[in-house]
Structure formats: C-alpha cells, structure tokens
Amino acid sequence: MKISKKATTIAIVNQKGGTGKTTTCENLGIGLAMEGKKVLLVDADPQGSLTISMGWQQPDELPTTLSTLMAKAMNDQSIPPGEGILHHAEGVDLIPANIELAGREVSLVNCMNREKMLKQVLEGAKHEYDFILLDCTPSLGMLTVNALAAADTTLIPVQAQYLSAKGLEQLLQTVQKVRRQINPKLKIEGILLTMTDSRTNYGKQISNLIRQAYGKHLKVFEQTIPRSVRAAETSAAGKSIFAYDPKGKVAEAYKSLAKEVLADADRQRKLSSERAR
C-alpha cells in the first residue's frame, strides 16, 4: 500500500509587521526545496510582499491569485488541480496574492464556515507537496485565522527586540483560541529569532530574555537569523538569499533552519504513525 503524500502545512505568523515573515517564508521554502522536498508557498497577505519578492513585480495584473481561489471555495465551485500556481526558477511553487485579497477578507465575514475557506483551497495541494508554507498578513484578522485553521503548525518569527516580545502574548492567545474552536491539531512549531545581532550585548540579552520567557513551554529555534543588509536587498531582486548571496551568513542560517524544520516534521510523522498502530 502506498501512503499518499500529505504535506506539512506551516503558517508563518506574527501580527506585527517587519519581523521577517516574508523573507522566512521564501528562504525556508527554497531551503526545503534544496533538500529535495516539494514545496508550495502561499501568499496570504493582500500586500503581496511574497509575490513581489519572488519576482512577480506587478501582482495586481496577475489573472489568478489566492483571492480568485478563495472566491471559488466560498461559492462551492471546484478548483482544478494546479490552478493559479506559479513556478519559481528556484524550484518552489507559489499561489500569489494581490490587493483583491483585502476585499475577499471582508466578504469572508458573511460566509458559512468562514474560517475554513483557505483550508478548502489547499485541500488538493496537500497530496501534491511535502510542505505548504503560508505567509500571513501582519494582523490577527480573518485571513490569519484562515491560515491557522489550515495549518498543522505555526512558526513565529520574532525580531530580537524587547517590544516585539510583548505582542507574542496576544498571538499565542489567538493560536490557543483557534486550537480550541477550529483546529485542535494545531501545534506551535517554534519561535524564530530574526534580525539578531549577536555582536552587541543588547542583542544577546534580548535573545536570552525570549528564550527564558518562552523556552519552557515553546520551542525557540536554535538557529537564529542574523541581521543583514544583503538579505534586505534580495526582496528587490526577486531572488532568494541562496541565489543572491549563497555564501553569506543569512543563507547558512536558512539552510540550517530548513534542516531543523525537516527533523521536526520527521519526528512528528513517526509519532503519528506510532499512535496509528
């Protein structure tokens, strides 16, 4: 009996902007593809940052986006396999987004089963990919709730600064609520410290603070993502950090993060298959 593939779906979420969600979604996704995995990235943010940073500079001109697919799900229309999926030169696929998604979020409010529309859109893709990564909007609105409802785990990028650690509380409460009410299987993959500066004492202190505050209950990834000007330039280049600065410290960091995420997914799979026995 061949076990059908079932993707691990990871929502990359933080309601604060500027924590490195999009950069992490793109580079973790390409890092996983470099490890031989089949990866689908989903831009679930009306700003379309992921779409733009992957080289589709005019997202508003794309004929089919996540908004199109969610409209079909909301109207109970079937979605043909592969519809709306773009192929990136670095071996990952993308469901793009543009500003239409903002209007779609508003219309979700009156929709039956409104938290599960994104899950419905991704139903077919679950069997085609090893990993589906969702780049969430910087808010805790309906689109983020949809992403949490569709996800197996959440990865939370946190900028290594004191204030951004405060917003974590609110986010963790939202995750708990979604787990209680909509998606009991939702796990927290871990907290990823981004834009770290290990050379300064302040940077080290913050990193330790976050590890102490959350490390008891949550995984804080060993691998942190260092601050880098080159990384900031990549989004304008439409390429990942691996294509842009392959020998740099950020590329190394995302490579190592991809390995950590793979090891976690394998562990989860073993656990589930033991439980199933």
pLDDT tens-digit map of 144-186:
999 999 999 999 998 877 655 667 888 999 999 999 999 999 9
Cα–Cα separations (whole angstroms), residue 244 to 85, 237, 250: 24, 8, 11
**Angstrom distances, CA of residue 246 to CA of 96, 217, 230, 241:** 25, 34, 11, 6
**Percent share of the chain, pLDDT over 70:** 95
Residue 1's pLDDT band (cuts 50, 70, 90): very low
Phi, psi of 36 (to 5 degrees): 90, 15
d(CA 176, CA 184): 9
Mean pLDDT, all residues of the chain: 89
More confident residue, 99 or 1: 99
The pLDDT value given to residue 4:
56
Q: Is residue 246 part of a domain?
A: yes
The answer to whether residue 188 is domain-embedded is yes
Banded model confidence at residue 43, pLDDT cuts 50, 70, 90: very high
* Orientation angle between helical segments 100-108 and 142-150, nearest 10 degrees: 80
Kindly report the pTM of this predicted structure: 0.93
Q: How many angstroms separate the CA atoms of 69 and 51, rounded?
A: 16
Q: How far apart are CA 125 and CA 5, in angstroms?
A: 10
Query: Are the CB atoms for 162 and 212 separated by under 8 Å?
Result: no
Given pLDDT bands bounded at 50, 70 and 90, which one contains residue 2? very low
User: Among 151, 114, 120, which residue's Cα sits nearest to residue 13?
Assistant: 151
Edge-to-edge strand list for the sheet holding 39-44: 86-87, 93-95, 39-44, 131-136, 8-12, 153-159, 187-196, 225-226
In a domain, 25, yes or no: yes
In a domain? residue 1: no
Beta strand 153-159 with 8-12 is parallel
Flag whether 167 is in a domain: yes
| CATH value at residue 52 | 3.40.50.300
Using a pLDDT cut of 90, give the percent of the chain over it: 61
Is residue 3 in a domain?
no
Residues with Cβ < 8 Å from 235, sequence gap 6 or more? 22, 23, 49, 52, 53
Q: How many domains does the chain have?
A: 1
**pLDDT reading at 90 higher than 90:** yes
The C-alpha atoms of residue 110 and residue 224 are separated, in whole angstroms, by 40
**Residue 2 domain flag:** no
Sequence letter at residue 274: E
Q: Using one digit for the tens of pLDDT, what is the confidence trace for 181-201?
A: 999 999 999 999 998 887 777
Q: In terms of residue numbers, what domain contains 225?
A: 8-276
Average pLDDT over residues 68-82: 93
Residue 90 domain-assigned (yes or no): yes
Residue 260: what pLDDT?
A: 94
Angle (deg, nearest 10), helices 66-74 and 100-108: 20
Residue that wins the pLDDT comparison between 209 and 102: 102
